[in-house]
């Protein structure tokens, strides 16, 4: 199960199917694939990762959230 999550996350990153939709002071929204929306919220010193897929909507890890986190890390490294 975990291996499948990482494989799907790698697919989204390699095919560049991650698109930033909006960014505010406390949240960032992304579109992953064709129809999944991921939102990262920073609230009360916690990072909340929400996804529109069935697993992510219950705050469980999913490949969409994982791919967005990896995407953000790569973008941060490219800015340095």
Average pLDDT score over residue span 2-30: 91
- Write out pLDDT tens, residues 41-80: 998 899 888 999 988 778 788 999 999 999 999 887 777 6
- Residue of 42, 10, 5, 38 lying closest to 22 (CA atoms): 38
Over residues 30-48, the mean pLDDT reads 91
pLDDT for 57: 75
Q: Give the integer Cα–Cα distance in Å for 73 and 77.
A: 6
What pLDDT sits at residue 80? 66
Tokens 């069935």 -> residue = 54
Residue 20 is predicted with a pLDDT of 93
Residues above pLDDT 70, as percent of the chain = 98
């Amino acid at each position: 199960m975990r291996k499948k999550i990482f494989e799907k996350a790698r697919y989204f990153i390699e095919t560049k199917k991650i698109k930033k939709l909006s960014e505010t002071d406390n949240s960032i929204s992304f579109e992953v694939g064709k129809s999944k929306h991921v939102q990262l919220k920073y609230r009360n010193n916690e990072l909340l990762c929400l996804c529109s897929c069935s697993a992510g909507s219950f705050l469980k890890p999913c490949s969409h959230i994982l791919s967005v986190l990896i995407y953000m890390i790569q973008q941060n490294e490219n800015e340095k």
